[in-house]
Structure 1
Amino acid sequence: MLTKDETILLPILDLCKVNVQSVVEYALDFVQAGLYEEAIQLLEKTIDDPQMVYPMIYYALGYFNACIGQNNQAKAYYDKARIMDPTYCFPNRLEEIVILQDAILHNNDDAKAYYYLGNLWYGKRQHQDAVDCWEQAIQLDQQFPTVFRNLALAYYNRMGRKEEAVALLEKAFALDETDARLLMELHQLYKKQGYNYAERLMLLDRYADLVVSRDDLFLERITLFNLLGRYQEARQLLASRQFKPWEGGEGKVSRQYTICHLELAKERLKANDPKEP
């Protein structure tokens, strides 16, 4: 950047683009040295497609411009940041708290900024601050399922507001009925709340395609068949799928396999029928 030699700069920028978090780190290093314009230049040069930018890049550009008195430019970048795809955006640096708070000062109706800041607070175990941010995000945007999901988990796990948590997670899934993870978490919440087996099975049957897409959901359906005494159906489902190991699922498949075969064997014994079911 000192020599203005693009032959030196471009290969470095290409390396930076491999990991957008590295770009943010370098820009913050410049800012720590008071070199705001250099930080802005670095971030701007790493943008290839203005419509496909990691949101925190635009938020950082907004904040850096605000720091040097370029408020109109700051507002323009903050406006861009709020419409970027939020998927996989998880700010975690202490500096990003200040950046997002400044974004909210410039755009107090930016639901995404509240959402990101809530994620950051929750990761830092500042649970009430996270809840406050997510509640504000919901007030501003009623169509973003992830905020409802996050707030539901915070209500249930940290605030003891269990009934409200169920309603929020139901709302999240209603907003995106293609998200198998939301279905899994909703079913898990129903189970913790003591919903009966038949109700839970009806939920999973209603979204059969989603159930098939996840081993844990598929196994929950098998478990419900066993709990309802429908062992032959459980056996058929177990035989139809090759399960892959997953964290937290150790032994769960083999347990359901054992249960349904033992119960089917008991039925044969009671009927004095030695044939394989």
Structure 2
Amino acid sequence: MTGRMLGIDPMAYGSLGENWFLQGESGLERLQAVLGKRRTAWLVLMASYLELGAWEEVLKLGEKAPSDPMVYYDCAYAAAGLGKEEDAAAFLKKAGADPGDYCFPYTDMDKRVLEYAYSRGLDGGRSAYYLGCLYYGRDNREEGMRYWEEAVSREDGLYQAHRCLALALLEVCRDKTGARREMEKAFALKRASSAGENSSPSPDGRYLLELMEIRKQCGVPVRNLLELLEEYPDLVYKREDLYHQQLVLYNEAGMPEKAAEFLKKRIFNPYEGGEGILVKAHILAYIQLGRRALREGKNKDAIAFLEKALEYPENYHEGRGVMAREAAVYYHMAKALEADGRGEEALAWYEKAAAYQTGRLDESDFYTACALRRLGKEREAAILYRQMLEGADALLEKEDRLPYFGGFVSNLPGEHDVRKANHMKAHPAKFYAYTKRRS
């Protein structure tokens, strides 16, 4: 029968497992050739035997499977099923000693096995941590947090659980102080764990990004956030989202010359969810440089900076998008040309800015309206301001839903909230509109 099944589907895990138990060594070679080192594939097969209560088969598979905490937990559960409590305890301790990287329990059988391990309490806080991930991933946030709290009470050095608690405290409880406390601890523990005999401690890039973002939400000054990132230049360089954040912080700190220099030092690879960040940082850096030059009476330098704002170097691997916020550049270019005594050219740039509308409720449309007013088109400017106000009110009215084609919520900690994303978009739009309507 097994041979017949493999004839129909030679990749069927269950048939391959049965074939090994019936055929011996040759069956094992065939099983290993198909499953290879894919841990999930081995775990799926082991779970099917756990469901059957075939404890001996689970233990045999566990001997051949790649190292993984869930392999040890499955073997512990099977050993307990056979009444071999000492063997089960040994497997649980082994699971607790495994670093657990890329371990993502998600099935009902995983839950059953982990609850057994949790009840024994022989693996430190690991089973509690994994159960927290499983529950939180199923949108049972409170239960997930309860298990993570238990995990750190059983094993305080478990940096993964401290990190998860930090994110949950921020996103579920809106507890910024608690989130920062847990993330600071997770960061320190992760950094210490990375130190080898011949290497200095270095944090994980994701932990650094999350710590920076949580500190930002706690009101830590921009300069202090920059100090944190500048402490780990190699890590920032390797991770593009960190590099983007440092660019954004340079602009926010009023250091556009550093942002402009930073933009030249890396070859970028735009990723889904990160599109537009780089181009926006580029435009803002050169606008700031242009405005500074204009204030200092260096009109030609200002024009040169603003020309650069409209050039996207090859190392960006990203060009002018359909929603590029260029009206601000056009408007400031017109101002610079006007200051330089080139009125006709300035008028052409004002007209270009007036014709450029994104409809994105951002500063680009604000400068479009400014250009319309400069051209004496007060009515058209007033209509655009009204549209910005109405668009912002529509977002706030349906604050719990993203608009159609409205993009995605940020992947940064604390910014997964659709309501928060809508408020962050709507209130600046209202500010832009009211500022000019009242001026």
Query: TM-score under structure 2 normalisation?
Result: 0.58
CA–CA distance in structure 2, aligned partners of residues 138 and 23 of structure 1: 29
C-alpha contact 1:109 1:140 (8 A) present in aligned 2: no
Instruction: State the AA in 2 paired with 1:129.
Output: E
Partner residue in 2 for 1:210: 235
Classify 1:263/1:59 alpha carbon distance in 2 versus 1 (closer, same or farther; 3 Å). Answer: same
Partner residue in 1 for 2:410: none
Q: 1:17 aligns with which of 30, 36, 39?
A: 36
Unmatched segments (≥5 aa) in structure 1: 48-52
CA–CA distance in structure 1, aligned partners of residues 180 and 223 of structure 2: 18
C-alpha contact 2:159 2:186 (8 A) present in aligned 1: yes
Matches within 5 A, 1:24-173: 24-46=43-65, 53-107=67-121, 110-173=124-187
Q: Which moved more, 1:186-195 or 1:229-238?
A: 186-195
C-alpha contact 2:89 2:122 (8 A) present in aligned 1: no
CA–CA distance in structure 2, aligned partners of residues 241 and 46 of structure 1: 41
CA–CA distance in structure 2, aligned partners of residues 69 and 111 of structure 1: 24
Kindly indicate whether residue 262 of structure 2 is the aligned counterpart of residue 237 of structure 1: yes
CA–CA distance in structure 1, aligned partners of residues 272 and 158 of structure 2: 28
Instruction: State the AA in 1 paired with 2:163.
Output: R
CA–CA distance in structure 1, aligned partners of residues 246 and 61 of structure 2: 51
Q: Deviation per CA, 1:172-217, whole angstroms, max 9, x where unpaired?
A: 1112332121111111112223322222222222333322222222
CA–CA distance in structure 2, aligned partners of residues 108 and 122 of structure 1: 23
CA–CA distance in structure 1, aligned partners of residues 166 and 156 of structure 2: 14
Greater relative contact order (CA < 8 Å, ≥ 6 in sequence): 1
Q: Deviation per CA, 1:106-145, whole angstroms, max 9, x where unpaired?
A: 2356211111111111111121221111111111222222
Classify 1:187/1:45 alpha carbon distance in 2 versus 1 (closer, same or farther; 3 Å). Answer: closer
Runs of 4+ in 1 over 6 A off after TM superposition: none
CA–CA distance in structure 2, aligned partners of residues 41 and 241 of structure 1: 50
1:265, CA displacement in angstroms? 1.6
1:252, CA displacement in angstroms? 0.8
Report the 3-state secondary structure (helix = DSSP H, G, I; strand = E; otherwise coil) of the residue aligned with 2:36. helix
Classify 1:67/1:217 alpha carbon distance in 2 versus 1 (closer, same or farther; 3 Å). Answer: same
% same residue: 30
Classify 1:162/1:272 alpha carbon distance in 2 versus 1 (closer, same or farther; 3 Å). Answer: closer
Instruction: State the AA in 2 paired with 1:206.
Output: E
Partner residue in 2 for 1:50: none
Q: 1:260 aligns with which of 281, 285, 309?
A: 285
Unmatched segments (≥5 aa) in structure 2: 1-19, 192-202, 306-439
Instruction: State the AA in 1 paired with 2:154.
Output: L
1:155, CA displacement in angstroms? 0.9
Partner residue in 2 for 1:5: 24
Partner residue in 2 for 1:186: 211
Classify 1:223/1:40 alpha carbon distance in 2 versus 1 (closer, same or farther; 3 Å). Answer: same
Instruction: State the AA in 2 paired with 1:14.
Output: A
Greater gyration radius: 2
Q: How many residues align?
A: 272
Q: 1:270 aligns with which of 279, 282, 295?
A: 295
Q: 2:249 aligns with which of 186, 207, 224?
A: 224
Report the 3-state secondary structure (helix = DSSP H, G, I; strand = E; otherwise coil) of the residue aligned with 2:273. coil
Classify 1:240/1:151 alpha carbon distance in 2 versus 1 (closer, same or farther; 3 Å). Answer: same
C-alpha contact 1:16 1:46 (8 A) present in aligned 2: no
1:2, CA displacement in angstroms? 4.7
What is the Cα-based RMSD across aligned positions, in Å? 1.9
CA–CA distance in structure 2, aligned partners of residues 46 and 204 of structure 1: 40
